[in-house]
């Protein structure tokens, strides 16, 4: 079984600072996403699974329709597996209503000028995200014991909570500790991958222009997010991935 | 009004270490010491304060990233 722990907005510097050794594994580093004009979640995960830069296609859909992107299995590297299990991945099979509600609450938070209302929305927003996180965590742990040859679990908590709470170190530390605990429960080789990281803007968080990767078996240097389709296919076939330096 | 208290479980080995640690200090109990440490941690780690300027900046960024469309 090949396992990918896909974590939205997992920040390289916090993984180091909070000593998340299970997320770090033996080899770790930053991904190179400079080919993209902005670190957009839907663009990056779609490009990851298709193995090609999908920025223009996704952006041309517009801000609303972009979130409804659903790439067919045949257009992803998942097709090279007999029985893949993908959990909540943007651009493939994510829980649309859940993530739509997050964006609605985020908009409400920024639209209101009322401080009390802001506080209430933030509490509701955080609770909504934590509840979903627990659900995905259960599903992921269950899948690790299932009849699959590939498991990908997508965790959005660091991104969703980070946007309104990145300046709250206690809360972020708690989230990173939980993600590290999830990684500690994975047996065998796995890849940790984030689409982008996060940088602090006061109490808030904005996407940073690099992602995070780690493996226990190979130094990937400074890979592009689109390299992972080949990396994973080659791990499956027992070959060693070599970066094409001419790319 | 007097503060209400709850119970928190900690490993016995840690409790023994803390007892040793506070024996030459002014703390009367490990409960008092733990409350002190936790309050200090919360103080240091939540140092960021809200600013309208940050909010405007992040709102614009989230718009650009497609979150607020």
Q: Please name the residue of chain B whose CA is at the shortest distance from the CA of residue A168.
A: B46
CA distance B54 to A216: 38
Is the predicted pLDDT of residue A195 greater than 70, yes or no? yes
Q: What is the DSSP string of A90-155?
A: TTTT--HHHHHHHHHHHHHHHH---HHHHHHHHHHHHHHHHHHHHHHHHHHHHHHTSS-SEEEEEE
Contact flag B58-A63 (C-beta cutoff 8 Å): no
CA distance A139 to B33: 39
Select the residue from A201, A205, A208 to test the B interface by mutation, using most B Cβ atoms within 10 A: A201
Instruction: Please tell me the predicted confidence (pLDDT) of residue B45.
Output: 59
CA distance A211 to A31: 5
Cβ atoms A164, A122 nearer than 8 A = yes
Q: Given CB atoms, is A120 within the 8 Å cutoff of chain B?
A: no
The pLDDT > 70 percentage for chain A reads 96
Q: For residue A77, how many other CB atoms are within 10 A of its CB?
A: 20
Q: Please name the residue of chain B whose CA is at the shortest distance from the CA of residue A36.
A: B65
Strand A198-201 and strand A204-207: the pairing is antiparallel
Q: Given CB atoms, is A33 within the 8 Å cutoff of chain B?
A: no
Domain ranges of chain B: 12-64
B18: part of which helix (H) or strand (E)?
A: helix B12-22
Q: Please name the residue of chain A whose CA is at the shortest distance from the CA of residue B51.
A: A202
CA distance A14 to A211: 12
pLDDT tens-digit profile of A104-137?
999 999 999 999 999 999 999 999 999 999 999 9
B56-62, long-range: CB < 8 A, 24+ apart: B57/A201, B57/A204, B57/A206, B58/A110, B58/A163, B58/A201, B58/A204, B58/A205, B58/A206, B59/A110, B61/A201, B61/A206, B61/A207, B62/A106, B62/A110, B62/A163, B62/A206
* Among A39, A163, A169, beta carbon nearest to B46: A169
CA distance A151 to A143: 7
| Residues of A with Cβ-Cβ distance to B47 under 8 angstroms | 167, 169
Mean pLDDT of chain A: 94
Give the ipTM of the model, two decimals please.
0.86
Instruction: Please tell me the predicted confidence (pLDDT) of residue A245.
Output: 47
Please give the average per-residue pLDDT across A93-106, as a whole number. Answer: 95
A202, burial (CB in 10 Å: exposed 0-12, middle 13-18, buried 19+): middle
Is the predicted pLDDT of residue A26 greater than 90, yes or no? yes
| Residues of A with Cβ-Cβ distance to B37 under 8 angstroms | none
> Residue B13 is encoded by which pair of tokens?
């080995």
Domains (range + CATH), chain A: 2-236 (3.40.720.10)
The H-assigned helical ranges of chain A are 12-17, 21-24, 41-50, 55-59, 62-65, 96-111, 115-144, 157-165, 169-184, 228-236
Contact flag B68-A110 (C-beta cutoff 8 Å): yes
pLDDT in tens, chain B (69 residues): 677 888 989 999 999 999 988 888 888 899 988 988 887 777 655 567 888 999 999 999 999 999 987
Region of poorest pLDDT, from A59-68, A91-100, B1-10: B1-10
Contact flag B61-A201 (C-beta cutoff 8 Å): yes
Question: Can you tell me whether residue B25 is helix, strand or coil?
Answer: coil
Phi, psi of A152 (to 5 degrees): -125, 120
Q: How confident is the model at residue A241 (pLDDT cuts 50, 70, 90)?
A: low
Is the predicted pLDDT of residue A247 greater than 50, yes or no? no
CA distance A99 to A113: 24
Residue A190 forms beta bridges with which residues? A3
CA distance B3 to B19: 24
Phi, psi of A110 (to 5 degrees): -75, -25
* Among B46, B48, B65, beta carbon nearest to A40: B65
B21: part of which helix (H) or strand (E)?
A: helix B12-22
CA end-to-end distance (rounded Å), chain B: 48
């Amino acid at each position: 079984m090949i396992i990918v722990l896909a974590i939205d907005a997992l920040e390289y510097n916090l993984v180091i600072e909070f000593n998340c050794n299970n997320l770090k594994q033996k080899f770790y580093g930053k991904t190179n996403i400079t080919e993209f004009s902005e670190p957009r979640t839907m663009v990056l995960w779609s490009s990851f699974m298709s193995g090609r830069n999908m920025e223009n296609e996704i952006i041309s859909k517009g801000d609303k329709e972009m979130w409804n992107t659903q790439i067919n299995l045949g257009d992803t590297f998942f097709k090279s597996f007999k029985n893949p299990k993908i959990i909540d991945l943007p651009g493939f099979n994510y829980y649309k209503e859940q993530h739509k509600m997050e964006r609605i609450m985020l908009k409400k938070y920024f639209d209101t000028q009322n401080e009390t209302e802001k506080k209430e929305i933030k509490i509701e927003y955080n609770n909504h995200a934590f509840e979903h996180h627990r659900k995905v965590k259960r599903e992921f742990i269950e899948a690790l014991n299932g009849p699959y040859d590939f498991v990908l679990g997508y965790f959005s908590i660091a991104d969703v909570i980070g946007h309104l709470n990145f300046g709250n170190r206690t809360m972020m530390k708690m989230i990173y500790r939980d993600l590290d605990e999830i990684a500690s429960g994975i047996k065998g080789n796995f890849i940790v991958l984030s689409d982008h990281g996060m940088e602090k803007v006061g109490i808030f968080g904005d996407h940073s222009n690099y992602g995070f990767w780690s493996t226990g078996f190979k130094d990937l240097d400074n890979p592009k997010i689109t390299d992972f389709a080949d990396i994973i296919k080659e791990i499956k076939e027992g070959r060693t991935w070599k970066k094409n330096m001419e790319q | 009004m007097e503060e209400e208290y709850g119970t928190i479980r900690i490993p016995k080995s840690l409790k023994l270490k803390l007892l040793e640690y506070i024996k030459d200090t002014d703390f009367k109990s490990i409960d008092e010491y733990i409350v002190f440490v936790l309050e200090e941690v919360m103080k240091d780690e939540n140092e960021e304060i809200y600013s309208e300027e940050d909010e405007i900046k992040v709102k614009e960024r989230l718009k650009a990233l497609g979150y607020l469309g």
